[in-house]
Amino acid sequence: MEKLLLALLILVSIALPSSSLHEDQIGKFDWIQRGIGSVHLAQFDESGSADGGPARRLVVATQHNVLAVLNTKNGEIMWRHVLPIGATGTIESLNVQEGKAVIVSDNPPLLRSFDVLSGTLIKEVPLKLHYKPDSLYGKRLVQHDSSSVTVAHLTSNTAEITRFSNLKTGAQEWQHSISQPWISSESQCGLTEVSLTCVDASLGLVLSLPFSRLGKTTGKEPQFISTSLESIGLSVAVTSDDDADCKFRSIPITLQNVHGSPRHLLITSGESSSVLQVGSDGSVTPVKEAGASSGAVSVVDVTQADDAVIYRALHHKQAIRISGFSLALGTELVSRSLQFSVGAEAAVRMLVVQQYQRRGDGEVAVRALVVMHDDSVHLVASPGVLWLREEALASVLAVEAVDLPIPASSVSMHDHMAQRAGVLHSLVHRVMLQGSELLSWLAELLEDSLSPSHSSPDSPPALYRDEFNIHKLLIIATASGKIFGMDNLSGALVWSEYLPSIQPLPSDKLLLFLQRSVAHFPHPPQMVLVAMHKDSCRGVVHTFNPLTGEPTGKGLEFLPYRISQASMLAQNDQQFIKPLLVVDTSLGVHAFPSGTELSVVLPHKDVLYIATRNSTHITGHSLRSSTKESLKLTPLWSQHFPPGTIEGVYTKRPGDKVHSAGRVMADRSVLYKYTNPNLAVVVARGLDHINENLLGVYLVDLVSGAVVDWISHSRVSGPVHVIHSENWVVYTYYHDRNRRHELHSLELFEGPSQANATAFSSLAGAQRPPLVERQAYILPFGVQASAHTITEKSITTKCLLLALDTGGIAQVARWLVDPRRPMSGGGPREEGLVQYMPEVHLPSTDIISYNQTLPRVSGIYSAPTGLESTSIVFVYGLDLFFSRVFPSKMFDMLKDDFDYVLIAGALLGLVAAALITRKLAQRKALYHQWK
């Protein structure tokens, strides 16, 4: 009997329709773009080119702790290693020799050697330090070549320098601790192979400590050799220090290592820069360049061949010129200069040059890797740019999907649809417009047939909305200040705009708001980016057209205050623009665009809440005391959230739709949902009295400041990922005691009756507290980022989208983590609920990224399409991944393998058969009559 059951079970499981992707569908609805992050170390691998030709591989290390090898032909990643986040994975130095890429990571200092060709780890040597490295409060400098590694650790007043010369065992050669009053963890220092060289702007000196002076014994304190900045020909740019607490204030003078040379340093002050050569006795001499520049930021590469050549990249607007300057000859080598132009007006951040013998004539040719401040990576040769990688896309901070416009021929139809009219009127209107559309289509067809070579193949395909509005434009704002418009179906970049003067807000955020969509023809769509100025840390608002990237209105606006809060209102003004409210740090309110009629803001009972970072309080402010002339905030409530600092406030997505007002119970009564649009989840973390982790989760009505419900989890640590939608909340955390990831699910209900079915007010009288259903589940994986699917009308069931720490993107059905799953089998069951099981079972067919691994996912963005069943998903992080998901399967669409030919054939055949048999039957009847 049991065998029979088992057999039956197997049969059923085989017969179940698979919801996953078929092998031939890979890449049909999805694409993936691999990234490496912003490059800070690079070296050409010259071992692959036997006859001294151009290198085939390029080894790069990035600020995202990625070590990768790029193909120099096309810029594709040959392999990459994603090292852990934080000091453990930080790559401090890179040295490529004899087909091996040797890196030194920061803390603990590890020397690792990789095979360039295959990417395998050849050896790993720990570098033993005799002091306790404290990377939190120090600055580490690493210099290494094929035979030795030097590590310097700068803390306040002290510099620890350690030299390792045996790279097989990691044993020290010597170690010295130097005390100087001017040394701090912010000191601008550089390690060369012979010295530690620092620059101190307040002293106006370049200070250099040659290692030859340190000797083997630690006797008296070694002395720094000082050189005045004037003798180098630099002056300290005086910056007005009015923004003293601006964390990111610019450093007046910087010292950097130079790629390709262990004896040169680049000193930059303001706009001018100079290359310093450090002698083995610690003497610092500036290199005299013929074309030394002022007025352009430059980066230098020195190649130690027969004669050292300094390459300097100068940029003038979008044109970049890399010129070589021979130290031996003292002249510029015109034949080795490169010129090219880039799309964005960005300065060069890094330059790595390779000289090689050209195969034909044996002349010396030059190839250069140019990394710009917008994180784009170019490989340049004499013909121009060979390839380009936009590595800004590895640090995406904000994404917004914009609908594409409708073709001009049918604009008229949608133009007037917004007008409210009677059913009959709109029907007549619709029919007339459809008729005119048909006519215009026919006219187009006629025109096409008359002139077949109508469209030239060179012109890029115009971006228009497709039938089901799946084709959209993704607007992506990145940490480098570059904004992209990306075609969501192909992943191709439509436009890009670099804003050199902005940086992310201190909470590492950029805010994107779509103020006006494309639906308001002839008004162009409008989007606004909220960011911070690089130097002053004051607010910046950039208004642009999301379809083209061109600035509209005032474009880039520099605000005279710092931004504390920015959010978009829900109501349109006369121009169909949703105004942006910006709150400065002294609680002044400003509306954008600045000419906005305040009447849009005022009739609504708007509450603005602000959660200060690293505090335990949230305050709510009301706009009610504003007048027609000016906006004013008055404090309304303040709420304290123990046990520690507030980690996040998670509101619902603005415009979150709830399709069904309640849930049908087994006895056909209704359990009404508690759909408070002003509800937020506040997560606070702290320690309890025995220093165990404590997590407080609060459900707060942000209008009244009332805590609707709260839970305290003891021995629970983060990262906490919260998904909040409709009337449910799902959050994931790590349970310290059980040592596993868990998922907590909450659902709120008003009860069997509704207080007010037509309107929801947080302030309406004495409210009953909602019923809160909760259940916890065990997750077999950790979570990197989370989101939920969004569809147009929210009829389709919602799915949770979880980026797993194993690298997959999982689509978890909501019913699987429903808090109303019954504990025991008894009693009537609600529809679609199975018995509670603590483990969340995740079949591999629910991994929408199938076998692709996505490391370091920082966020998931979901947007609705014109099809109710379909939602688009964009996953960003180090890599970009786009896909479509169908949470309730494709109920409103035919499968893409639907056999149209067969169905049409069958239909036509049946019609034909019916006609023929009718004729035959008629003939037969006639014949029968004549009989």
In the complex, the residues that contact other proteins under the rule CB under 8 A are: 505-507, 509, 511, 530, 562-570, 581, 583, 585, 604-613, 646, 648-649, 651, 657-662, 664-665, 668-670, 675, 677-678, 702-703, 756-764
- Closest CB 240 distance from other proteins, rounded Å: 21
Query: Are the beta carbons of 19 and 889 closer than 8 angstroms?
Result: yes
- Closest CB 621 distance from other proteins, rounded Å: 8
- Closest CB 15 distance from other proteins, rounded Å: 25
Residue 773 or 830 having the CB closest to other proteins: 830
Residue 69 or 703 having the CB closest to other proteins: 703
- Closest CB 865 distance from other proteins, rounded Å: 21
Residue 395 or 619 having the CB closest to other proteins: 619
Q: Which element (helix H / strand E) includes 724?
A: strand 716-725
Q: Which residues pair with 732 in a beta bridge?
A: 721, 743
Residue 367 or 542 having the CB closest to other proteins: 542
Residue 760 or 815 having the CB closest to other proteins: 760
Show Cβ contacts of residue 471 under 8 Å, excluding neighbours closer than 6 positions: 404, 463, 464, 465, 487, 488, 489
Residue 118 or 645 having the CB closest to other proteins: 645
- Reading phi first (left if > 0) and then psi (alpha if -120 to 50, else beta), residue 384 is in left
- Closest CB 708 distance from other proteins, rounded Å: 14
Which of 286, 284, 285, 281 shows the shortest CA–CA distance to 210?
A: 281
User: Tokens in use for 91?
Assistant: 């790559």
Cα 786–Cα 788–Cα 789 angle in degrees, nearest 5: 140
Separation in Å, CA 220 to CA 79, 159, 282, 826: 49, 15, 18, 84
Residue 87 or 670 having the CB closest to other proteins: 670
Q: Which element (helix H / strand E) includes 200?
A: strand 195-200
| CA–CA dist 856, 65 (Å, integer) | 11
- Closest CB 859 distance from other proteins, rounded Å: 15
Query: Are the beta carbons of 269 and 253 closer than 8 angstroms?
Result: yes
- Closest CB 826 distance from other proteins, rounded Å: 21
- Closest CB 639 distance from other proteins, rounded Å: 13
Residue 507 DSSP label: T
Query: Are the beta carbons of 639 and 618 closer than 8 angstroms?
Result: yes
- Closest CB 759 distance from other proteins, rounded Å: 5
| CA–CA dist 395, 324 (Å, integer) | 33
Residue 488 or 762 having the CB closest to other proteins: 762
Which of 843, 795, 793 shows the shortest CA–CA distance to 816?
A: 843
Residue 405 or 662 having the CB closest to other proteins: 662
- Closest CB 761 distance from other proteins, rounded Å: 4
Neighbours of 922 (CB within 10 A): 10
Show Cβ contacts of residue 128 under 8 Å, excluding neighbours closer than 6 positions: 170, 171, 172
Cα 762–Cα 767–Cα 769 angle in degrees, nearest 5: 105
Q: For tokens 């969340």, name the residue.
A: 840
- Closest CB 620 distance from other proteins, rounded Å: 8
Which of 535, 561, 533, 531 shows the shortest CA–CA distance to 543?
A: 531
Residue 840 DSSP label: -
Rg from Cα positions in the chain: 33
Separation in Å, CA 316 to CA 14, 165, 298, 319, 389: 65, 44, 11, 5, 21
| CA–CA dist 177, 201 (Å, integer) | 23
3-state SS class at 458: coil
Cα 881–Cα 882–Cα 883 angle in degrees, nearest 5: 130
Q: Which residues pair with 57 in a beta bridge?
A: 45, 71
Query: Are the beta carbons of 122 and 114 closer than 8 angstroms?
Result: yes
Residue 474 or 679 having the CB closest to other proteins: 679
Residue 608 or 816 having the CB closest to other proteins: 608
Longest pairwise C-alpha distance within the chain: 135
User: Tokens in use for 293?
Assistant: 């520049």
Residue 139, burial from CB neighbour count under 10 angstroms (0-12, 13-18, 19+):
middle
Residue 35 or 662 having the CB closest to other proteins: 662
Residue 254 DSSP label: E
| CA–CA dist 734, 784 (Å, integer) | 12
- Closest CB 670 distance from other proteins, rounded Å: 5
- Closest CB 825 distance from other proteins, rounded Å: 21
- Closest CB 552 distance from other proteins, rounded Å: 23
Give the neighbor-by-neighbor strand order of the sheet with 679-687: 645-651, 679-687, 693-701, 707-714
- Closest CB 560 distance from other proteins, rounded Å: 14
- Closest CB 266 distance from other proteins, rounded Å: 33
Amino acid at 629: E
* DSSP codes, 347-394: -EEEEEEEEEE-TTT--EEEEEEEEETT-EEEEEETTEEEEEEEGGGG
| CA–CA dist 873, 29 (Å, integer) | 11
Give the neighbor-by-neighbor strand order of the sheet with 472-478: 396-403, 472-478, 482-487, 493-498
- Closest CB 682 distance from other proteins, rounded Å: 10
- Closest CB 532 distance from other proteins, rounded Å: 8
What is the b/e burial string over 176-186, where b = at least 16 CB atoms within 10 angstroms of the residue's CB? bebebeebbbe
Residue 188 or 503 having the CB closest to other proteins: 503
